[in-house]
Chain A
Amino acid sequence: MNFPEELKYTDSHEWVKMLDEQTALIGLTEYAQSELGDLVFVNLPEVDTELSAGEAMADVESVKAVSDVYSPVTGRVEEVNEELLDHPEFINETPYDSWLVKAADIADTVTLLSAEEYAELVEKEQQ
Chain B
Amino acid sequence: MQLITEKGREGRGLSLLPPCDVERVRPDEADCRKLPLGMPAVSETEISRHYSALARRTHGVNDGFYPLGSCTMKYNPKVDEEAAALPGFTKVHPLQPVETVQGCMEVLYLAEKYLCEITGMAAMTFQPAAGAHGEFTGLLLIKAWHHSRGDEKRTKIIVPDSAHGTNPASAAMAGFTVVNVPSAPDGSVDLNALRKAVGEDTAGLMLTNPNTVGMFDENILEITKIVHEAGGLNYYDGANLNAVMGIARPGDMGFDVVHLNLHKTFATPHGGGGPGSGPVGCKEILTPFLPGARVMRKENGSYGWTGGEQTIGSVKAFYGNFLVVVRALTYILTLGREGIPEASRNAVLNANYLREKIKDAYPMAYDGLCMHEFVVSLEEWKDKYGVTALDAAKALLDHGIHPPTMYFPLIVHEALMFEPTETESRETLDEAADALLEIARLAQTDPEALHASPRTTPIGRPDEVGAARHPVLRG
Of B165, B413, B464, B465, most A-chain CB atoms within 10 Å: B465
The answer to whether B410 and A41 have CB atoms under 8 Å apart is: no
**Cα separation A61 to B469 with both chains bound (whole Å):** 10
Of B165, B413, B464, most A-chain CB atoms within 10 Å: B464
Judge if A63 is at the interface, Cβ distance under 8 Å. Answer: yes
Q: Which residues on the A side are within 8 Å of B464 (C-beta)?
A: 63
Q: Which residues on the B side are within 8 Å of A66 (C-beta)?
A: 165
Judge if B407 is at the interface, Cβ distance under 8 Å. Answer: yes
Number of A-B contacts (CB under 8 A): 19
Judge if B468 is at the interface, Cβ distance under 8 Å. Answer: yes
**Cα separation A63 to B465 with both chains bound (whole Å):** 6
Q: Which residues on the A side are within 8 Å of B165 (C-beta)?
A: 65-66
Judge if A40 is at the interface, Cβ distance under 8 Å. Answer: yes
Q: Which residues on the A side are within 8 Å of B410 (C-beta)?
A: 64-65
The answer to whether B468 and A40 have CB atoms under 8 Å apart is: yes
The answer to whether A89 and B469 have CB atoms under 8 Å apart is: yes
The answer to whether A41 and B407 have CB atoms under 8 Å apart is: no
Tally of A interface residues using CB under 8 Å: 11
Give chain B nearest CB distance to A91 CB in angstroms.
12
Flag B390-426 by CB within 8 Å of A: 1 or 0 each.
0000000000000000010010010000000000000
Q: How large is the interface on B (under 10, 10 to 19, 20 to 34, 35 or more residues)?
A: under 10
**Cα separation A92 to B40 with both chains bound (whole Å):** 45
Q: Which residues on the B side are within 8 Å of A88 (C-beta)?
A: 469
The answer to whether B407 and A40 have CB atoms under 8 Å apart is: no
Give chain A nearest CB distance to B469 CB in angstroms.
5
Q: Which residues on the B side are within 8 Å of A63 (C-beta)?
A: 464-465, 468
Judge if A78 is at the interface, Cβ distance under 8 Å. Answer: no
**Cα separation A65 to B464 with both chains bound (whole Å):** 13
Judge if A38 is at the interface, Cβ distance under 8 Å. Answer: yes
Flag B148-185 by CB within 8 Å of A: 1 or 0 each.
00000000000000000100000000000000000000
Q: Which residues on the A side are within 8 Å of B413 (C-beta)?
A: 35
Which residue of the partner chain, among A35, A40, A64, A65, contacts B469 with CB atoms under 8 Å?
A40
Flag B450-474 by CB within 8 Å of A: 1 or 0 each.
0000000000000011001100000
B residues lining the A interface (CB < 8 Å) = 165, 407, 410, 413, 464-465, 468-469
Given contacts A40-B469, A64-B407, A65-B165, 5 further A-B contacts (CB under 8 A): A35-B413, A40-B465, A41-B468, A63-B464, A65-B407
9 residue pairs from A and B, CB less than 8 Å apart: A35-B413, A40-B469, A41-B469, A61-B468, A64-B407, A65-B165, A65-B407, A66-B165, A88-B469
A residues lining the B interface (CB < 8 Å) = 35, 38, 40-41, 61, 63-66, 88-89
